[in-house]
């Protein structure tokens, strides 16, 4: 006699069967790949010791790597533009299919993507004020280009969008492994963001180091969001 199979609740992240389900899986996979590429490109600053060792990691903004008078600035600009485009594509895709995650997660991802692409492609800095006294003086007087002056705005908008998305993603994580990873990302991102804000007023307090911690947290958020894009917020399936 056949025994009845136990009833299992459907996985909220699992797409429906059939062509629509296959399409959703492909869309989620594409978004996850885009986010992985975004995380890799957003970490282009790790190449700084090789490509531009002149910038001091303790006091220099990471954005100065992409300043138009710096060596290999196109490498870092391309990294930002690629990050922004990938994040934008992922946000648009996930807004359609990943409905188990609050919409602000994808709105924030879109804001981050667009602002980061603009930041790398149009509003990169003219020069690096942390190592160039003349640049610092012109910046103080407001005599640099509009793109240099707009850089602060686009960078701030990008970080604000990322924080909105990160909070929404972290709030829905389920399963012990996902939650542990989320806790690590949240701590690194919070410490880096608070430290950067404080050091903005007191650059001698290690502004560059705090900003590098913040960007490490943002890369972690992109990686975690890639996992959520592919498999949903959990719980993890038994192996």
Domain range holding 206?
20-26+55-231
- C-alpha 17/C-alpha 204 separation (Å) is 57
User: Is 204 inside a domain boundary?
Assistant: yes
Tens digit of each residue's pLDDT (9 = 90 or more) over 209-236:
999 999 999 999 999 999 999 888 766 5
Q: Is the pLDDT of residue 18 over 70?
A: no
Question: What is the value of pTM for the model shown?
Answer: 0.87
> Measuring CA to CA, which residue among 184, 172, 163 is closest to residue 235?
172
DSSP secondary structure string, 42-55?
Answer: HTGGGGHHHH-TTS
Higher pLDDT, 222 or 202: 222
What's the confidence (pLDDT) of residue 7?
46
Query: Number of structural domains, the chain?
Result: 1
Q: Is residue 132 part of a domain?
A: yes
User: Which residues does 208 contact at the CB level (< 8 Å), separation at least 6?
Assistant: 56, 57, 58, 59, 60, 61, 62, 130
Answer whether residue 43 is part of any domain. no
pLDDT, one tens digit per residue, over 44-95 is 999 999 999 989 888 888 999 999 999 999 999 999 999 999 999 999 999 9
Q: How many Å apart are CA 170 and CA 82, to the nearest integer?
A: 24
* Distance, first Cα to last Cα, the chain: 29
């Amino acid at each position: 006699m056949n025994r009845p199979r136990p009833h299992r609740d459907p996985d909220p992240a699992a797409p429906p069967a059939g062509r629509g389900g296959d399409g959703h899986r492909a869309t989620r996979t594409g978004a996850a790949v885009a986010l992985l590429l975004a995380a890799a490109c957003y970490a282009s600053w790790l190449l700084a010791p090789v490509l531009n060792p002149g910038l001091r990691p303790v006091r220099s903004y990471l954005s100065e790597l992409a300043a138009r008078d710096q060596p290999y600035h196109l490498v870092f600009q391309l990294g930002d533009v690629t990050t922004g485009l990938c994040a934008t594509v992922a946000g648009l895709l996930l807004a359609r299919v990943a409905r188990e995650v609050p919409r602000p997660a994808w709105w924030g991802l879109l804001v981050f993507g667009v602002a980061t692409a603009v930041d790398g492609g149009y509003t990169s800095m003219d020069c690096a004020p942390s190592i160039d006294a003349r640049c610092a003086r012109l910046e103080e007087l407001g005599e640099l280009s509009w793109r240099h002056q707009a850089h602060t705005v686009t960078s701030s908008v990008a970080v604000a969008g990322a924080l909105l998305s990160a909070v929404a993603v972290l709030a829905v994580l389920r399963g012990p492994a996902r939650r542990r990873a989320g806790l690590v990302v949240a701590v690194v991102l919070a410490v880096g963001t608070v430290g950067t804000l404080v050091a903005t007023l007191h650059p001698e307090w290690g502004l560059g180091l705090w900003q590098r911690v913040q960007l490490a947290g943002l890369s972690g958020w992109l990686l975690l969001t890639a996992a959520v894009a592919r498999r949903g917020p959990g719980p993890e399936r038994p192996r």
